[in-house]
Amino acid sequence: MHGSDHGSGAPELLGYAGGRLDRVDPIRTNAALLAEAFASPLARRVVLEGLEPVVEGGHLVMEPLPGDAWVEHFALLGVDEQQRPIFAELLADAPDSFLATPRSRGLVGEVPGHEVALYGAARSLLSWHVRHRFCSVCGQRTAPVKAGWSRQCGSCQAEHFPRVDPVVIMLAEHRGRVLLGRQHSWPEGRYSALAGFVEPGETLEEAVVREIREEAGVATHSVRYVMSQPWPFPSSLMIACIAQADDDALTLDENEIQHAFWADAEGVRAALAGEEGAPFLAPPVMAVAWHLLRHWLDGQVAGSTPSA
C-alpha cells in the first residue's frame, strides 16, 4: 500500500510514500555528472518556504535553477520520469521548528502522492543538513558533499550521512480485538496504535514487544511486519506491525499513555468510516496507523488473522 495520485478522499492515500524519483547514486558520487545535471536546462528546484511546501494548481511548485546558483548550495533529490534533475536548495538558517505543521500535513491529498513523497524526502534531507553542521567527532564545521547526501568534516575528514530514525508502530491483538491508546495531547476521542523508537541493539520484533510491555503492561509474541511509512518530521521511518497478546490485562505507563482500551472489529470499522457514535476517533487517513487498522480489519473480515 503506497502513496496515491488520487484526491483527498481516497482511502488508500498514505502520506509521504510512493516516491518515483530515480535517486541516481552514480551522479551523486561523480562531480562531472553532477555538474552536467546541475547545468541541464531540464533541471528544476523544489520551491520551499523554509521547510514548508509551496503549491500552485494542485502541484508542488518547481522552477528552473537560478543562473547564478552554486551546486554546493543544493542537494540532488533525483531524476524524475521526465528526466529532469530535481534539486532542493540547502537552508541558510534553521527553521523555527522541525515538527509537522498544518501546511506540511495538508499537502497530502492536495498534490499527487509522488509529489508528497518528493517533498517528504526534501524536507527530511534539508532539516538534517541544518541539524548537522558540526562534526560529532571533533566538533569542527562540516560541509555538504556527494550532491547533498553526506557531510564531511574539514578538520578530521569524518563523513556523516543523513539519519533515519526507525519507529515501530503496532497493534497488539487478543481474541479478535486490538489494543489502542491515546496520548495526553491528542484531540478528544483520538486513539491510535502504540508506537516507540527502536533502541540500539534491538530487532524490530524486540522493539515491538518491549514498547507494548512498557506502555501497556501487555506481553506479546509472534510479531509480523505489515508496512512502513516515511515520516519527515524530522526524519522517522514508521514500521507497522501486529503482535499477538498473551492476555488483555492493562497496566499503563501514564506518562506515555493517557488511556487505552481493546477495540473490536465493529468498533474499528465504525471509526475508520467516521461514523457518528464510533467508539473512538481514528487517526487521519494519511497516517500509517489508519492503514494498519484497515489491514487488521480486512483480515478479520477474511477470517485470515490468527487470534491469541
CA distances from 252 to 213, 228, 230, 247, 289 (A): 9, 26, 28, 14, 20
Phi, psi of 152 (to 5 degrees): -125, 140
pLDDT for 12 equals: 64
What does the alpha-carbon distance between residue 64 and residue 44 come to, in Å, rounded to a whole number?
Answer: 5
Cell of 73: 548550495
CA 237, chain centre distance (Å): 5
Beta-ladder partners of 196:
168
Residues 290, 272: contact at Cβ < 8 Å?
Answer: yes
Beta-ladder partners of 76:
87
pTM for this prediction: 0.92
Q: How much is the mean pLDDT over the chain?
A: 93
Helices (H), 76-196: 102-106, 113-131
Average pLDDT over residues 236-246: 98
Confidence of residue 13 (pLDDT cuts 50, 70, 90): confident
Phi, psi of 307 (to 5 degrees): -110, 150
pLDDT for 1 equals: 37
pLDDT for 305 equals: 44
Look up residue 187 and give its DSSP letter. Answer: P
Phi, psi of 269 (to 5 degrees): -60, -45
Helices and strands in the chain, H and E counts: 7, 17
pLDDT at 257 over 80: yes
Average pLDDT over residues 242-268: 97
- Angle at alpha carbon of residue 101, lines to 14 and 189, rounded to 5°: 70
Residues 283, 290: contact at Cβ < 8 Å?
Answer: yes
Instruction: Report pLDDT digits (tens) over 94-131.
Output: 888 888 999 999 999 899 999 999 999 999 999 999 99
Closest CA relative to residue 76, chosen from 42, 108, 34, 118: 34
pLDDT at 29 over 60: yes
Cell of 186: 491528542
pLDDT at 7 over 60: no
Query: Worst-scoring range by mean pLDDT, 3-12, 152-161, 178-187, 290-299?
Result: 3-12
What does the alpha-carbon distance between residue 218 and residue 216 come to, in Å, rounded to a whole number?
Answer: 5
What does the alpha-carbon distance between residue 279 and residue 290 come to, in Å, rounded to a whole number?
Answer: 15
Residues 112, 8: contact at Cβ < 8 Å?
Answer: no
CA distances from 86 to 19, 52, 150, 170 (A): 13, 17, 17, 35
Confidence of residue 301 (pLDDT cuts 50, 70, 90): confident
Average pLDDT over residues 3-22: 68
Instruction: Report pLDDT digits (tens) over 190-219.
Output: 999 999 999 999 999 999 999 999 999 999
Q: What is the architecture of the domain spanning 165-302?
A: Alpha-Beta Complex (3.90)
Cell of 87: 534539486
Higher pLDDT, residue 224 or 301: 224
Each domain of the chain, given as residue ranges in start order, spans 25-132, 165-302
What does the alpha-carbon distance between residue 25 and residue 37 come to, in Å, rounded to a whole number?
Answer: 13
